[in-house]
Chain A
Amino acid sequence: MIDAMISEIGFVFLLSLFAMGAAGSLCFKKRDTLANGWQNFFAIIGSLWGIIFSIGAFFVTRGISFAATSSVFPLLSFSFHIDKLSAFFIFVISLITLFCSIYGIGYIKHFYKKYNIGALGFFYHLFIAGMLMVVTASNGLFFLVAWEIMAIASYFLVVYDHNDNDTVKAGSLYLIMTYAGTSCIILSLLLLYAYTGSFDFAAITSSVALIPVSVKNAIFVLSLIGFGAKAGIIPFHIWLPAAHPAAPSHVSALMSGVMIKTGIYMMIRMFMDILEPAPLWWGLTVLIIGSVSALLGVLYALTEHDIKKLLAYHSIENIGIILLGLGSAMVFASVGNTPLALFGLGAALFHTVNHAVFKSLLFLSAGSIINQTHTRNMEEYGGLIKYMPLTAFFFLIGSMAISALPPFNGFFSEWMTFQVLLQGILSAEIVVKSIFVLATGALALTGGLALACFVKAFGVTFLARPRNSDVPRARESSWPLRAGMGALATVCLLFGIFSGYLAPLLARTGASSFLASANTAPSAASALLAPNGFGSVSGPVFFILFVFILLCVIAAAKYIVNKKQKINIGATWDCGANLTPRTEITATGFARSIVCIFSGILKPSLQHEIQYHDAHTRYVPKSRIVNLRMRDVYQSYFYVPLIQFITALSLRIKAIQSGNINMYVLYIFIAVVTALFLS
């Protein structure tokens, strides 16, 4: 029975649930409530089955393979292969989809009458099904089809709020970057086909030795750019802070939490499975890219005061941290140190699922705030903890998890990443060693800056007094929203506490899939163990110790020492001036000192515009406008020259575009003749 379910039938059933959801949403598009109920019901059922199926598939040792070929397109075969790695990603997708769909039941309501709810459901389901196919496809062409379904469905979700001009613009940017990335992926797959004669991943893997080294390196660079653009590595990340905020919040949560991870999935698949054995410099390159993405991601996040953009930049940071784990795994795999490679991969995968959980929690809470305040600008929030206490609490847990504070899950995956980097520092080669030292430094700095950024985000949003008259009208969100967020917050804590059992399990993902036998993988225990006896940390003990000591301290302070103490309520000391929202610190002000310290990277510019009552003498200013801007380094040094080059090239090519139809017929004729001669 179980065998029958955890097989191709189970997976096809999973896909058909999402197909039903998609089709049904379109059928009921005229009736908002029904369309909402239908799409979220099928998404919840589908993701529940996805979780069960993926856990089952994870423990099936042989993996599940099946294919449906058609004679019409001989190269395209709908072939799936579900090994431990795919099962893990199905689990992540299903887990986040489950909570986002519960949240969606309540969240979608504010789109009623304004937008087409059926279309939202259709693309939502198509998007999830696309992601599920991406992580299971085992044929290059079919993979591209799935990749495109995912990309196009997510594009339509991004531009869902299409009455807003910025949203449409963000969508176009997203589409352009996606296709730029996809073209690199197509090239790399074609190169693979050219040398191995197959699009099938298993066939390519077995004949990878036929590929010359230079071509292999080219494939590496192309797929790093292609999948990196989807994952959001710097400098191919510019679509991410534009597109993620534009989408509806539960879709942002899915995109930021899950979709960008498909890039990570394919990187693992390509670099550690298909193209194995990889040279040392691949891993080092990934490490450097990871360090840069982590550090720059968090720095740009600090400068943001749009709450969803801030979260989007943190996705870039966390992708960087995941790449640090993956890069070290690649380095260790290339020097043949399998236990450390497995540990590094475990760190990367554990951070992948952790980031998916806390980032979607943060996006959902942000959506809940935006729903009430109707703005994404953090400078207009303030004091929301009194009006939305539960949302505030969930956002706090998400902030603590993403800042890697124990006992939440983010800490444990960062701990693993630190440990694997430390193992890299021990290596004898000076180049490798120094890159690992830099990566460690980058990760340590990133952790500190992320903490500062989330103190800013939480403090400015929820604490002190409202900065806007709309804020006191905010109410706590409805129950589906609270349920979705609350469940994710619980998962944050549980994954932290049970990290000792989860992380070794994930480290074994590579063990039986492609790297080596399972006995070199770390074993599960209540404490998380670093390789080579380097260290250990126990999630449950820390949690119990923390709660126990906290309760003791509170009890002692409240009930033993001075029971007669009175607590008076008195206004904040105001230095004799009246306290207004303008006397509170702003998000910009909070981050100002860090921006100044990193001015070499962030390039802030300050402009004063002062108007005087007395224009000649300039003693009495009437009004003063201060403009604080950041210049994007990658924008001015990477994209602007690139765009200029493309424009110049296009102008040259325009010469052959005469507009005369006879000319074009001539071109076609020449092309046909050339093709005939060449063949």
Chain B
Amino acid sequence: MTIFFWIIQLIATPALSPLCIGIIKKIKAKFQNRQGASIVQPYKDIWKLMHKDEVISPDASWIFRSAPYIIFTTTIIVGLSIPLFASFLKNALTGDLLVVAYTFALGTFFLALAGMDTGSAFGGFGSSREATISALAEGGLILSFFAVSVIIGTTNLFTISRAGILLSTSFFLPAMLAFIGFFIILLAETGRFPFDNPATHLELTMIHEAMILEYSGKKLALIEWAAANKFFIFAALGVNLFFPYGIAQSASMGALFIGVAALLIKILGICCIVALIESSMAKLRFFRLPDLLIISFILSAVAIGLSQTL
């Protein structure tokens, strides 16, 4: 039975992630008074890209060729290592928040190298910006995680989401501060406004799109899919660490049903907030971004200062 849940968990991330992107695009289109593409369009895009031929630069090495597979693999591993719909599943082997942070770093490492590999100025600058943003974001990410783990007394993500709802206890303030800190990092790490514009290829705004400019075909599909996975994982982490409402605490049918439904509704909520932010504010100038990241860092540090162990 447990094996069955793990397989669902394994499939859930890649299966649901393109939907999130589709929903965000749809909401943004509505804000812009457009009809917009269907919410399943990202699936069709991935399918289409999978069936296209590829063009690879003669300058590219095996790093460029293997990076999409490695990046996609890291997102699958992280998808297995975090609580999605059930906290009774216990992953004491990779379900640690530092493992999650550094496995994403592994993906970032190869993505940034792949950006430099083709030798175009675009890719190089995209990599430089990505490395800068993720270097600063890592501090905020780890500290916001630590704020929660200091309160609950563990770094295991499943145990944290099992321990209960922080917001309804006396830890409301630190948990809320840490969540705001985390949310800023979510926007930064997944390449969303105000950090990056996922919709354009303008050289002034782009980070993620610049690095993957030379990719095509299957490899592009994998990278886009991995980016969607990353968004889904960050959204799931945000809702399950800070608002673990409804997450299945036992393997009963009812609890599981509520768990899955709660996950979908909460992630839909995160998608709405992200879409709202993208529709209502402008992208920040690159050198204003560190300010935002350092705010996240400080918020989380304050959250740790305010928190005590349960």
Knowing A385-B61, A553-B69, A562-B51, say if A572 contacts B119 (CB, 8 Å): yes
How far apart sit A400 and B69, CA to CA, in the bound complex (Å)?
17
How far apart sit A561 and B47, CA to CA, in the bound complex (Å)?
9
How far apart sit A542 and B102, CA to CA, in the bound complex (Å)?
12
Query: Is B117 part of the contact surface with A, judged by Cβ < 8 Å?
Result: yes
A534 x B61 contact (CB < 8 A): no
Knowing A535-B96, A584-B121, A589-B128, say if A570 contacts B113 (CB, 8 Å): no
Residue on A nearest B135 in the bound complex, by CB = A448
B218 x A557 contact (CB < 8 A): yes
In the assembled complex, which residues on chain A have CB atoms less than 8 Å from the CB atom of B129? 593
Query: Is B249 part of the contact surface with A, judged by Cβ < 8 Å?
Result: no
How far apart sit A383 and B77, CA to CA, in the bound complex (Å)?
31
B98 x A538 contact (CB < 8 A): no
Of residues 394 to 414 in A, which have CB atoms within 8 Å of B's CB atoms?
396, 400, 403-406, 411
- Which residue, of B76, B98, B112, has the highest number of chain A Cβ atoms within 10 A? B98
In the assembled complex, which residues on chain A have CB atoms less than 8 Å from the CB atom of B305? 433-434, 437
How far apart sit A584 and B146, CA to CA, in the bound complex (Å)?
39
How far apart sit A383 and B290, CA to CA, in the bound complex (Å)?
32
B98 x A400 contact (CB < 8 A): no
Knowing A437-B301, A448-B134, A545-B77, say if A585 contacts B51 (CB, 8 Å): no
B138's contact among A444, A463, A464, by CB below 8 Å, is which? Answer: A444
In the assembled complex, which residues on chain A have CB atoms less than 8 Å from the CB atom of B124? 459, 464, 584-585, 589-590
B116 x A464 contact (CB < 8 A): yes
Contact with B along A149-193 (1 / 0, CB 8 A): 000000000000000000000000000000000000000000000
B94 x A545 contact (CB < 8 A): yes
Query: Is B222 part of the contact surface with A, judged by Cβ < 8 Å?
Result: yes
Min C-beta distance of B190 to chain A, whole Å: 16
B56's contact among A415, A425, A570, A574, by CB below 8 Å, is which? Answer: A570
User: Could you say which of B28-36, B153-161, B274-282 contacts chain A?
Assistant: B153-161
In the assembled complex, which residues on chain A have CB atoms less than 8 Å from the CB atom of B309? 426
A447 x B138 contact (CB < 8 A): yes
B117 x A463 contact (CB < 8 A): yes
A419's contact among B61, B94, B150, B155, by CB below 8 Å, is which? Answer: B155
B102 x A404 contact (CB < 8 A): yes
User: Could you say which of B103-111, B166-174, B251-259 contacts chain A?
Assistant: B103-111
Min C-beta distance of B108 to chain A, whole Å: 7
How far apart sit A419 and B128, CA to CA, in the bound complex (Å)?
30
In the assembled complex, which residues on chain B have CB atoms less than 8 Å from the CB atom of A557? 50, 69, 218, 222
In the assembled complex, which residues on chain A have CB atoms less than 8 Å from the CB atom of B132? 452, 593-594, 597
A440 x B143 contact (CB < 8 A): yes
B121 x A444 contact (CB < 8 A): no
Knowing A437-B301, A537-B94, say if A386 contacts B61 (CB, 8 Å): yes
Min C-beta distance of B194 to chain A, whole Å: 16
| B→A interface (CB under 8 Å) | 50-59, 61-63, 69-70, 72-73, 76-77, 80, 92-94, 96-99, 102-103, 105-106, 108-109, 112-113, 116-125, 127-129, 131-132, 134-139, 141-143, 146, 149-150, 153-156, 213-214, 217-218, 222, 286-287, 290, 297, 301, 304-305, 309
The 7 A-B pairs at the shortest CB distance, nearest first, are namely A585-B124, A464-B119, A448-B138, A448-B135, A535-B155, A452-B131, A459-B116
Q: Would you give 25 A-B contacts (Cβ < 8 Å), ordered by A?
A: A383-B59, A396-B63, A405-B109, A406-B99, A422-B150, A437-B301, A437-B305, A449-B135, A451-B108, A459-B112, A459-B124, A464-B119, A465-B59, A527-B92, A549-B77, A553-B76, A557-B50, A561-B51, A562-B51, A568-B53, A568-B54, A571-B58, A572-B214, A589-B125, A590-B131
Given contacts A589-B128, A590-B128, A594-B135, 9 further A-B contacts (CB under 8 A): A455-B112, A455-B116, A535-B155, A542-B99, A567-B56, A571-B58, A574-B120, A592-B128, A593-B129
| A→B interface (CB under 8 Å) | 382-383, 385-386, 396, 400, 403-406, 411, 415, 418-419, 422, 425-426, 433-434, 437-438, 440-441, 444-445, 447-449, 451-452, 454-456, 458-460, 462-465, 527, 530, 532-538, 541-542, 545-546, 549-550, 553-554, 557, 561-562, 565-574, 579, 583-585, 589-594, 596-597
